Amino acid sequence: MKNIAVIGAGFVGLSAAYWLMRDGHAVTLYDPAGAAGGASFGNAGTFANYACIPVNNPTVFRDLPRYLLSATSPLRVRWGYLPQLMPWLLGFLQSSTTARYTHSATALAALLGRAQGGYDDLIANAGLDRFICPRECLYLYSSAANFEAARPTLALRNSLGIQTRVLDKAEVTALEPSLQPLFERGVLFEGSWHLSDPSAFLHSLQAWLVGKGMRVQAAQVTRLQPSADGVVVETPDGSAQHDAVAICAGVHSKTLAAQCGDVVPLEAERGYHVMYPDTSGITPLISRPVGWAERGFYMTPMAQGIRVAGTVELAGLGSTKHQGLLDLLHFSAQRALPALGAPTAPWLGFRPSLPDGLPVLGRSRASSRVVYAFGHQHIGLTLGGLSGMLVADLVAQRPSALDLSPFEASRFQS
C-alpha cells in the first residue's frame, strides 16, 4: 500500500481517488474548495462520448475573424489579455491543420471509446445510479446549410466509431415538442447520458470515499518537491510527504507541472452557465441535453431546473463576468425554448485547455512518482472516470490498454 496525494476534487481527481483506493492505497485529497469547487460544478452535465472533435480544426482559419468580431459568436477574446494569450493562440492555430486535427480527433476517440468503463464500477459501488439520466444528447442545426457544413465532422465521428442518428425537422419536434420549430436537422448520439446534478454527484462520491478512509485537506497546494524517496506536498498549513502524487487540478495544474519539470501551455477557457427554474410541471420542458451547434451551448434538464451552459471566453482567471456572453446564452436559449422564464444564478468557471485539444495524461519529467491527469477542456466529466483509472495504472506501473503517448506532457517540449 502506498500513501498517495491527489490534487483536485473535480471529476478527474475524485475518480483518481476512487481507483487508487480500489487498489488498496491510502489517499489524501487536496483541494481548498472540496468537491466540485471548480469547473466541475458548472458544466453542462453531459457524458459526451461523442466529443472527439477538437475546437482546433481547419475551419478555424476561415471562421476565426467572424468568431472574434460577431456579436452572436460563442467565442470571445478579451483584447487586453491578447499579449499573454498569443503563445497559446499560435499553438492553437498550428494544431488546426488537417493532419494535426485528425490526430487529435483520433486520440480523443480512443479515450472516449473506453470512457464508460471508467464509470461503471465507480457508479455501482458508490451508489450513484440515482444521478444518471440515460437519455441521448441531441445536437440541433437551425438550417440545412449548416447541417451540410457539419457533415465532414459527423463523418469523422462515424469513422472513429461514434454511433449517431440523423433526425429531420419533424422527428426533432416529435422528440422534443417544446422546442421552437426552427431546427431543420438533429443528431442523436447513442450511448450518451447526463447527470441530474453534477455537484451533488461529486459531493456524494467524496463523502463515500471519506467513509472508506480518504483524508481531505482543504488547502491549496503551493509547491511539490519530488525526490528519490517520495514527493513533498507543501500547503499554507504545512507540508507532508507522499509516496506519489496525482496532479488533477484542472487549470491550476500548470504551475505544479512546471515544478515537476514540464512546461505546459495550459490556458483557461472561461465558460458560463445560467439556470432556469423549470415551472412546466410534472413533464419537463426538455427530456435530454439539447445542444444548438451553431450557437455553442447546451440546455440540460437537471434537478434544479434547466441549465444553459456554453460559450468560450479567452481572458485568463479574472473573476469579472462577461455580461454579453450571459445575455447571448439567455437570448439563444429563449429563442430555442420560448417557455423558459427568467434566468437565475449566472456562473463563470475555468476549463483547462491545451492548444491541441488533448489532455495531459502520464508521468512527469522530474519523477515517475508524479502523475498527470489534467487539461480535459470540455470533457472532464466524460473522461473523469477513465482518467482516474489511468492514474491508478500509472501509479501501479501496470501496462495501459491505451497508447498514452499522444497525451504526454513532453509533446510540448521543443
Please say whether the beta carbons of 268 and 56 come within 8 A. Answer: no
Q: What sign for the dihedral angle of Cα 411, 409, 114, 382?
A: negative
Please say whether the beta carbons of 295 and 268 come within 8 A. Answer: no
pLDDT at 65: 72
Give yes or no for residue 386 having a pLDDT over 80: yes
> H or E stretch including 307?
strand 305-314
> What is the share, in percent, of the chain residues with pLDDT greater than 70?
98
| H helices present in 44-159, as ranges | 60-69, 82-94, 98-112, 117-126, 144-159
Long-range CB contacts (within 8 A, 24+) of 323-329: 324/71, 324/76, 325/74, 325/76, 325/272, 326/272, 326/274, 328/72, 328/74, 328/295, 329/272, 329/273, 329/274, 329/297
Give yes or no for residue 345 having a pLDDT over 90: no
- Torsion angle of alpha carbons 125, 128, 134, 137, nearest 10°? -110
What's the average model confidence in pLDDT over 322-345? Answer: 93
- Torsion angle of alpha carbons 352, 353, 357, 363, nearest 10°? -60
Please say whether the beta carbons of 89 and 312 come within 8 A. Answer: no
- How would residue 401 be classed by pLDDT, with cut points 50, 70 and 90? confident
Beta bridge pairs of residue 204:
none
Neighbour count for residue 374 (Cβ, 10 Å): 30
What's the average model confidence in pLDDT over 269-277? Answer: 95
Please, which residues have CB within 8 angstroms of residue 157's CB and are 6 or more apart in sequence? 50, 52, 53, 109, 164
Give yes or no for residue 269 having a pLDDT over 80: yes
Domain boundaries, the chain: 3-209+247-412
pLDDT tens digits, one per residue of 116-136: 999 999 999 999 999 999 999
Q: What sign for the dihedral angle of Cα 140, 201, 111, 369?
A: positive
User: Which phi-psi region, left, alpha or beta, contains residue 127 (left: φ > 0; alpha: ψ -120 to 50)?
Assistant: left
pLDDT tens digits, one per residue of 357-379: 999 999 999 999 999 999 999 99
Helix axes 380-396, 11-22, angle to 10 degrees: 30
Phi and psi dihedrals of 301, rounded to 5? -75, 125
> What is the share, in percent, of the chain residues with pLDDT greater than 90?
87
pLDDT tens digits, one per residue of 72-91: 777 788 888 989 999 999 99
Please, which residues have CB within 8 angstroms of residue 63's CB and are 6 or more apart in sequence? none
Average pLDDT score, the chain? 94
What's the average model confidence in pLDDT over 339-351? Answer: 92
**DSSP category for residue 399:** P
> Per the structure block, which three cell numbers stand in for 297?
451551448
Give yes or no for residue 326 having a pLDDT over 80: yes
pLDDT tens digits, one per residue of 131-159: 999 999 999 999 999 999 999 999 999 99
> Per the structure block, which three cell numbers stand in for 248?
488533477
pLDDT at 414: 64
Give yes or no for residue 68 having a pLDDT over 90: no
pLDDT at 77: 84
**Rg (Cα) of the chain, in Å, rounded?**
21
Beta bridge pairs of residue 133:
194
| Correct CATH for 3-209+247-412 of 3.40.47.10, 1.10.760.10, 3.30.9.10, 3.40.50.720 | 3.30.9.10
pLDDT at 321: 93
- How would residue 69 be classed by pLDDT, with cut points 50, 70 and 90? low
